[in-house]
Structure 1
Amino acid sequence: MKLEELGLPEKLVSSCLKRGISELYPPQADCVEKGLLEGKNLLISIPTASGKTLVAEMAMHRHVANRGKCLYVVPLKALASEKFEEFSGKGPKTGIATGDYDKKDEYLGRNDIIIATSEKVDSLLRNNAAWMGSITCLVVDEAHLIDSEDRGATLEMVITKLRHRNKDLQIIGLTATIGNPRALASWLDADLVTSDWRPVELKEGVFCRDTLYFGEEIKTIETPKKNDDENLCIDCVNDGGQCLVFVNSRRNAEGCAKRMASALKLDEPELEKLSVELEKAAETDMGRILAACVKKGAAFHHAGMKRDQREIVERGFRQGSIRVISSTPTLAAGLNLPARRVVIRDYLRFKGGEGMAPIPVREYRQMAGRAGRPHLDPYGEAVLIAKGPEAANGLYEEFISAPAEDVTSRLDDERVLTGQILSLISTGFVKTEEELPEFLNETFYVHMNKSTAYIGRIVEDAVALLEEAGMITRTGEYLSSTDYGHLVSRLYITPQTAEIITGALRERSGRETGAAPKEFSELGFLQVLCTTPDMYTLYIKKSDMDVLERFYFENEAELWREISFDSMEEGFRALKTAMLVNDWISEAGEDLICSRYGIGPGDIYNTVEGMNWLLHASSRLSSMMIPEFGDPVRETAIRVQHGIKRELLPLIRLKGIGRVRARRLFNNNIMAPEDLEKAGFDRVAAIVGKKIAQQIMKQAAGEGSADAKRRTRPENEYISDKEDEVPVNGRDDPSRPSLFSFGGGPE
């Protein structure tokens, strides 16, 4: 089936022709024949690299040509950025939304195609973004993630809400790995398109000792190294291919990359450039190790890395310079990084209460699907490493020959469903208690279970909880949200989190007991925020306990929560996370924090990002409910946003000044904007550079109001002065009391 024969917009066709795509793959042709371009709902379950994205683009461009608007939902911010670059410049105006969760972002409605994470879409619905009612085409990428424990319930409710509101909506679900596609297609009222066809043949097999077994095909490879993964990668690279090695921990990913770099020992100009780029961005030992590995042709990839580090590695691999990436499963979740050979080294993973357990077949298929680079490789190879012949047979049965697991609904999570019920009432999706079960009848959960008894009980409990908390009220049979409930829904935090925050501030204020107000403690408030269900907390190890207990008893007067024996693990996880944020606002450097807590720079970013959002929510809640704590909460929010001590607050108000420049000015006795004029331009320029000096001197002189022009970064953005980022006083701040080193976060 020729592209030019389908009546598609000219810019899409020409962009495809430039990439050498003139004819549809068989699965793509099946989609067209099943009504893709006539507005039919489709669930497309075909292998990775079989052209699912182009199918979605064809449908979206047809909608845009008919004055429609399209929403493309992805699970990850990184994937959203990748799709934004891929879709841009082909005609339709394309926008991306992954930021703040309490904004309507009405400007997005000016675009024809909007790419967003499921959480962002849910927040837009909660904030009643008007343009959401104009969506005519919904594409759900990685649709199998409706089964995800973390985001599955949110994705399910997003789909349900959009289908409920936009009756003529075309839905296109994209998935490569799903055991019960007919069930999901049935819920979506969609035709199912399935195929095993791939543009590059996929060989799935097992490596044992010195032999690769691909069913009947047997291949012997040289084994100069003692580690199987090294031998598999060297063999592939020597044959002109690239490799992905999947392991079960960050530590193993980094260790594997170091071994691969030592084995490859490449010396090429492009690798040197990438290494220099990474070295400039490196602020921790991990970053410097990554740069050294890339210089020799290998890299690692995991969530502990900063975004710019991951992007450099991905670019180097796509260009063909980096030959081997060792990664945790994050890389398999949608990012377009195919390789000649995929080595699944670790197919066991630690699971709480079970010990080491096999990874799901669905996850194996996601990894294996990365094998084979279209237009570059004659075939792709997915290889499991076996320790012996008996284990090899077991791997065939457990992974290669096994069907993928069925997807199930995650909407039976009471905490998540309570928040969703509040949003349904707040946004007017439902107006009475009787309408709630009617709405939930449209969900995948009810479609699969054919019974509303269990979910009905959750609804009753949730409504009672929300009413008791003062988030909703009844007027006869009608339900409506209070100002408090409406704010909680718009802030995109769970009702439980809101109650923990407001409860702690009320208790501190003495309002409910009539006692005298207690002093606000930043450390104590950070600890409270880390106990909320919306805050990701650091893992703890046995080796952490002495440090945590010592800190707990030394700072007991400042802390707001006791740690009980019954919830000791949760309590100490919250405390450890609060300690990290406390270090951050004490201006400890990244290298020190990473070393102290056994984490990566990306973990600092994620922790600070999560805390920024909770502090933003706390500021809004305190202004409404406990205004006497409004100022200290806002001050804490600014400190966490910028990673500064309290003494830098006056300087941080200046546009162009971050934690590093502010500290430099302060250490040179320029402690507030009014001190700039006294110091003089030459002295200020010597500290922060001429360009920044001109900018801030104008602000200080009143030529541009610092308050009016004040930097307004997103509340959840990680802040640094990139051009001169160095930890205060070198690696540490000796004025701080001694803290301790931890065993680390997740490996």
Structure 2
Amino acid sequence: MEVAEVVPEFADAFPFDEFNEMQREAVPALVNSEANVVASAPTGSGKTALAELAICQTLDAGGTAVFVAPLRALTNEKESEWERFEELGYSVYVVTGERDLNPRRAERADVLVMTPEKADSATRKHDSPRYSFVTDVDCVVIDEVHLLDSEKRGSVLEVVVSRWRRLCDPRVVALSATMPNIDDVAAWLDAEPETTFEFGDDYRPVDLHAGVRTYTHGDNPFADKYRRLFTTLDLAEPHLREDGQALVFVSSRQDTVQAAKKTRDEIGERDIPVGSRGDYEFHTETEELDNATLRKSVLDGVAFHHAGLSTNDKNLVEEWFREGKIRILFSTSTLAWGVNLPARCVVIRDTKLHDPLEGEVDMSPLDVLQMLGRAGRPGYDDVGYGWVVCDESDADMYRNLLREGKEIESRLAGNLAEHLNAEIAMGTIRGLGDVMDWLETTFYYQRARSEPDDYDFPGLRDRVRDTLDDLVEEGFVETDDDLGLSATRLGVLASTYYLRLDTAREFRDVADGDGDADSVLRAVASAGEFDSVSARKSERDAVDRIVGSEADDLDSGPRKVLAILRASMDGSMPPELRSDAWVIKQNALRLLAALGAFFERYDDPAGANVAARLEARIDTGVPEDAVGLTALDGVAAGRAHKLADEGIETPADVREAGTDGLEAAGLGPGVAESVHEQAAGMPDVLVDWSDLPDSIAAGDNQMCEVVVRNAGGGAAAGVAVTVNDVEMTETTGYLDDELSVPVGVFGADADELEFEVTVSFSDLPLLPVTETRTVRVE
């Protein structure tokens, strides 16, 4: 069956001319109908083509398709791969949290590529103009639907698919590696038997021999890594000596590098002929690599691959591995989910991972099966060999996994309250009846019907009602006399910012307090999102050096988070904390943005400004005095430090310096002009005290007003007035030209009255403007 016969308009979108046996069986369901399709097939058997066929069918009908990829790294790869669609005149647009959304491009895209988390975030905001495009989709393709079983991410995929079906009822095409309970997934998605395909191991392009190899666990984790590495090399060596290749999965980016270094020494000791140092042409090609360590390693036939490498280096490593120039490749799990890079021998050296937010965790069964599925090179090998290296205590668990596979379970029960709150906040659930209708659209409900004892199916509705009652009692949801449901301000904030409900409650309490920098940082460090963070022994001295006795009442995990935040603000992260710092920092920035919104919604612009300044400092490492520079588009950490070093610390300084001064400070002409223009659009505040008298007689009183004038761009602001450190009045609003604040001048017992006006910008990281005026009491 030739591609050109099936989809003649899209023949150039496929990298091959003929469909294989598995693809041929699925073609009619994908191309000749609009029915929902569920298909499971072994890794490497060509599932991607099924996704592309579904996309072609949608484009041919003039519709829009969404491809939901399991990892952010894969969304970028699909963007590159699907330039083939671009060449046919269709637009492919990737929507991820790491990119600024262009709503116009998203709305006009023919193919959208998203992760489950971004799809969840976008569909939660579907009624906003910025994200309205998510309800105008005709087909949702879910890549690796067995992600439903992921402890951390499964419930997100589950609710976003159910939500899409309630919002716009698109066609759903769900693809997966082998799953024993495919019928549950099909029933959940209303896929008929004739559009449900379970392609077994006989469809694998190469047979797989999978097994478990144990090692002797010691007291030293560092030594254990090398025990597992030597076991790994024992397993790979026979295949390397027969001109085969080995793909080895390890737990971290750093481990890929260290394992590759040690392996270069070990293969020399064992005299395994895998190097290419005599290949002078290849020697020249390696000069194209950006990573110097990798450049040395590949000449010995050993390489490493992880998401931190440049795109150029990753592409070259993949190309050389396919060509056989690299014989043993160490990688993190990303490679298993994305790139089709099979090897004769696959070894999982590390089954336990360090997660910055969770501590030591077991690798998920889904990852294990996905990695082992890479064993065997179609067209080169008759059999692939996959091994799990683990401690004896875990051996039976992995043997059972390899023998029986892993049924897909629903993980929605673990955070049912958060997801139910989100649906109510979005308005997709408006009453008690809607709650039960929503429940029946979930995989949770379908799985409970299949396994009523495991899921307590008879009590399921009661559990959901109890969860709803808790949301009402805790202030996230409110009801009316007609049994209608709506989200409170607290519920909306928790949903909008993806907060755990306990964190949302804590943030509400903080927003009701003083909102100083210390309390804001402590609230973020103590958030439930970080409750599994732990400080390793090697990190504790560094944590103590940073926070000292400031947080003695906090546990070691929150202290570590607090230390990372403070070090990020100063741009002085100690080496011991760097491995976890990026993930913790990114989560903290999201939480700070959320807490800023709490302050704003609870009418505390000064607190919101504190959160905005902390967010900017943690993100850039800019000093407190120069944090206002980060409000200017085009001024990130590097340029902010460069300007601050030249004494240009605020937007006002930028305006005064002019483009000539900015160029003298090291900015290029174009950048200097843009930055100066941005500064001109920032608020430029002057406090007019002219209505206040210089003195007042004891016992007299006079009502006056202070006028805050703005000669620059408008912004949301709060104006607070104190007299002798006692709060007198506060006004919030949009400061365009001016804001007037009533001030009472009362002749009191004091000899003088010191008035202080503070202007805070709630959504800009500008330092507050503070001015004082003294009135004598005579």
Relative to the length of structure 2, the TM-score reads 0.73
Equivalent in the alignment of 2:448 = 449
SS of the counterpart of 2:412?
Answer: coil
Identity %: 25
**Unaligned 5+ runs, structure 2:** 215-227, 268-273, 450-455, 684-711, 714-778
1:572-721 residue pairs with structure 2 within 5 A? 572-588=556-572, 592-593=573-574, 595-597=575-577, 599-600=578-579, 603-625=580-602, 626-672=604-650, 688=666, 692-699=667-674, 702=677, 705=680, 707=682
Q: Is 341-350 or 444-453 further displaced after alignment?
A: 341-350
> What is the CA distance between 1:252 and its match in structure 2?
4.6
SS of the counterpart of 2:409?
Answer: coil
Q: For 1:544-580, what per-residue CA distance to the aligned partner results, in whole angstroms no more than 9, with x for missing partners?
A: 4566567666214xx8xx43xxxxxxx3212202211
Q: For 1:380-417, what per-residue CA distance to the aligned partner results, in whole angstroms no more than 9, with x for missing partners?
A: 522327799x99997995455x010211111111xx22
Quote the Cα distance in structure 2 between the aligned partners of 1:705 and 1:208.
66
Relative to the length of structure 1, the TM-score reads 0.75
SS of the counterpart of 2:583?
Answer: helix
> What is the CA distance between 1:301 and its match in structure 2?
4.2
Check conservation: 1:466, 1:472, Cα contact below 8 A.
yes
Letter in 2 for 1:500: E
Quote the Cα distance in structure 2 between the aligned partners of 1:226 and 1:529.
39
Check conservation: 2:318, 2:341, Cα contact below 8 A.
yes
Quote the Cα distance in structure 2 between the aligned partners of 1:386 and 1:490.
42
> What is the CA distance between 1:507 and its match in structure 2?
3.2
> What is the CA distance between 1:156 and its match in structure 2?
1.0
Q: For 1:41-87, what per-residue CA distance to the aligned partner results, in whole angstroms no more than 9, with x for missing partners?
A: 22211111211111111111111111222111122111111122222
Equivalent in the alignment of 2:154 = 152
Check conservation: 1:152, 1:410, Cα contact below 8 A.
yes
Check conservation: 1:581, 1:608, Cα contact below 8 A.
yes
**Unaligned 5+ runs, structure 1:** 210-224, 280-287, 510-519, 564-570, 711-747
Quote the Cα distance in structure 1 between the aligned partners of 2:383 and 2:611.
54
Check conservation: 2:350, 2:390, Cα contact below 8 A.
no
2:513 matched to 1:507?
A: yes
SS of the counterpart of 1:434?
Answer: helix
Equivalent in the alignment of 2:418 = 419
Check conservation: 1:71, 1:115, Cα contact below 8 A.
yes
Are the structure 2 counterparts of residues 698 and 197 from structure 1 closer, same or farther at C-alpha, using a change threshold of 3 Å? same
Are the structure 2 counterparts of residues 682 and 107 from structure 1 closer, same or farther at C-alpha, using a change threshold of 3 Å? closer
> What is the CA distance between 1:609 and its match in structure 2?
2.0
Equivalent in the alignment of 1:255 = 258
Letter in 1 for 2:642: R
Letter in 2 for 1:491: Y
1:22-101 residue pairs with structure 2 within 5 A? 22-34=17-29, 36-90=31-85, 91=88, 92-99=90-97
1:159-308 residue pairs with structure 2 within 5 A? 159-167=161-169, 169-190=170-191, 191=193, 192-195=196-199, 196-198=201-203, 200-205=205-210, 227-230=230-233, 233=236, 236=239, 240-248=243-251, 252-262=255-265, 263=267, 266-267=276-277, 277-279=289-291, 292-294=296-298, 296-301=300-305, 306=308, 308=309
Check conservation: 2:40, 2:182, Cα contact below 8 A.
yes
Are the structure 2 counterparts of residues 682 and 187 from structure 1 closer, same or farther at C-alpha, using a change threshold of 3 Å? closer
Q: Is 153-162 or 340-349 further displaced after alignment?
A: 340-349
Are the structure 2 counterparts of residues 695 and 171 from structure 1 closer, same or farther at C-alpha, using a change threshold of 3 Å? same
Quote the Cα distance in structure 2 between the aligned partners of 1:100 and 1:462.
33
Quote the Cα distance in structure 1 between the aligned partners of 2:445 and 2:212.
44
Are the structure 2 counterparts of residues 687 and 494 from structure 1 closer, same or farther at C-alpha, using a change threshold of 3 Å? same
Equivalent in the alignment of 2:120 = 122
State which of 123, 135, 138 in structure 2 corresponds to 1:136: 138
Equivalent in the alignment of 2:768 = none
SS of the counterpart of 2:39?
Answer: strand
> What is the CA distance between 1:28 and its match in structure 2?
0.9
Are the structure 2 counterparts of residues 154 and 659 from structure 1 closer, same or farther at C-alpha, using a change threshold of 3 Å? same
Q: For 1:155-187, what per-residue CA distance to the aligned partner results, in whole angstroms no more than 9, with x for missing partners?
A: 1111212223334x3221111132222222222
Q: For 1:190-247, what per-residue CA distance to the aligned partner results, in whole angstroms no more than 9, with x for missing partners?
A: 23212224563134155989xxxxxxxxxxxxxxx99343355565456554421123
Q: Paired residues, what number?
A: 639
1:230-629 residue pairs with structure 2 within 5 A? 230=233, 233=236, 236=239, 240-248=243-251, 252-262=255-265, 263=267, 266-267=276-277, 277-279=289-291, 292-294=296-298, 296-301=300-305, 306=308, 308-309=309-310, 312-313=313-314, 315-320=316-321, 322-346=326-350, 362-374=366-378, 377-379=380-382, 381-384=384-387, 398=400, 400=402, 402-413=403-414, 416-450=415-449, 453-476=458-481, 477-508=483-514, 520-522=516-518, 524-535=519-530, 538-545=533-540, 548=543, 554-556=549-551, 562-563=553-554, 571-588=555-572, 592-593=573-574, 595-597=575-577, 599-600=578-579, 603-625=580-602, 626-629=604-607
Equivalent in the alignment of 1:5 = 5
Q: Is 42-51 or 362-371 further displaced after alignment?
A: 362-371
Are the structure 2 counterparts of residues 535 and 276 from structure 1 closer, same or farther at C-alpha, using a change threshold of 3 Å? farther
Letter in 1 for 2:566: N
Quote the Cα distance in structure 1 between the aligned partners of 2:138 and 2:119.
15
> What is the CA distance between 1:342 and its match in structure 2?
1.4
> What is the CA distance between 1:461 and its match in structure 2?
3.8
Structure (1/2) with the larger strand percentage = 2
